[in-house]
Amino acid sequence: MKNDLSRRQQMTVDLGKQINRHASIMLQELIRGGNGKNVVFSPLASFTLLSMLADATSGKTKEEITKVLCEGNELNQLVKDLAKLKRQIEGSEEYSSANAVIVREDIHENLAPDYKDRLSELFGGRLFISDNLAAHLDPWVRKSTGGIIPSVSNESMKEMMLCMINACAFVTAWKTQYEESAIVYENFHNADHTTSRVQMLHSYELTYVENERFTGFAKPYKGDAFSYMVLLPKNKKLLFDDPYFELDFSKLIQGVDNTFAKVVMPEFHCSTDTDLTDIMKKLGIHTVFTPQADFSSLSSEWLKVGSIKHRAHIEVDRKGTKAAAVAYDDFLCGSMPVVCPEEKYVLVNRPFLFAVVHNATGTPVFFGAIQHLDAQKGTGEYTDLEE
């Protein structure tokens, strides 16, 4: 019994490491391709979608996806651990997610007989039959993200045969709210060497974070299940995509040293709409996009993935955080104030990384980078703080 428990715990640790590794790799690839734009995405949504995709494939197609996900671990065990992790994260009211597969009416009879039950059992997903996938996709997305992401459909989806999708949403307030006197207009120094006047939030946090590359803090949300983490590069000239870095939020959360930190951070909102197809190919996932794709575990229909896409939005302000993400792929026919002597100071007035982290598991449910903030309108007092 003890050995079984130890093995399950180890598998959970392995899964956490893999999701954190996936988060670091994906963020850097998104930054490289973003031309200096801000980036936000959900590592958990992306990881879940790839797991659903792997489960629906066979042969070389499955091997390529599994290698990106598991690094030698069994896919079946990973999927079981992923389900347990999601249940743990979704045990709080702040975060919710949903999985679905929407199939065009004229091919649904060709689905594998056990696929609907497998989708439900392994991923808690629902199977929908539709005569117009694009028209039925948006209502599901709006509902699953609480309206934060209203739509994802476009004209190119008219010929889509099937859509596999994960949607998630996170809405909550800070554990300690800001007083009006703690909100001041100040300078933010953008990555392109311009400066924007934005609203900054002042607070004291008991969660200073530091490693060899970053300083930062973790700010708790109401309920204490999640934290907002900011990581500020020690090297002001550091470009986030060079050199390569890998973050483990589980270690960062555990490594919080309860040192007081005076924190000044900006309000911001960020949206990212990205085609992940080229990134997936760079990671080694190729066959799923070709006529040689093997979806025999899903359908007898000749299918291939046209593209894998991800859309996310986040708002961080004086009240709290609101965020949502949708990861989906479309299938085509094969032819288609406290004074303390140990106090630290974290002034977030230049490009930074941010994450919404589930504290108990160290899972980053949202992750991103802010490189530029637009100047905000207002008549607040002008202040230019320097480190």
CATH number of the domain to which 221 belongs: 2.30.39.10
Q: What is the pLDDT of residue 238?
A: 57
Do residue 106 and residue 159 come from a single domain?
Answer: yes
Sign of torsion over alpha carbons 157, 158, 163, 169: positive
Query: Which residue has 């270690």 as its token pair?
Result: 251
Domains contained in the chain, number: 2
Q: What is the pLDDT of residue 362?
A: 92
Q: What is the pLDDT of residue 218?
A: 94
Distance (Å, whole) CA 35 – CA 275: 14
Binned at pLDDT 50, 70 and 90, residue 183 comes out as very high
Do residue 244 and residue 323 come from a single domain?
Answer: no
Distance (Å, whole) CA 170 – CA 222: 12
Sign of torsion over alpha carbons 27, 33, 39, 41: negative
Do residue 263 and residue 303 come from a single domain?
Answer: no
Binned at pLDDT 50, 70 and 90, residue 189 comes out as very high
Do residue 134 and residue 44 come from a single domain?
Answer: yes
Q: What is the pLDDT of residue 242?
A: 54
* Best CA proximity match to 45, nearest among 136, 152, 162: 152
Do residue 342 and residue 328 come from a single domain?
Answer: no
The pLDDT > 90 percentage for the chain reads 62
Do residue 233 and residue 299 come from a single domain?
Answer: no
Binned at pLDDT 50, 70 and 90, residue 141 comes out as very high
Lowest mean pLDDT among 14-23, 249-258, 293-302, 312-321: 249-258
Give the mean pLDDT of the chain. 86
Distance (Å, whole) CA 190 – CA 38: 11
Binned at pLDDT 50, 70 and 90, residue 35 comes out as confident
Do residue 180 and residue 229 come from a single domain?
Answer: yes
Do residue 137 and residue 197 come from a single domain?
Answer: no
Q: Which domain holds residue 7?
A: 2-171+270-333
Neighbours of 245 (CB within 10 A): 18
Do residue 274 and residue 213 come from a single domain?
Answer: no
Distance (Å, whole) CA 354 – CA 367: 6
Binned at pLDDT 50, 70 and 90, residue 13 comes out as low
Binned at pLDDT 50, 70 and 90, residue 260 comes out as confident
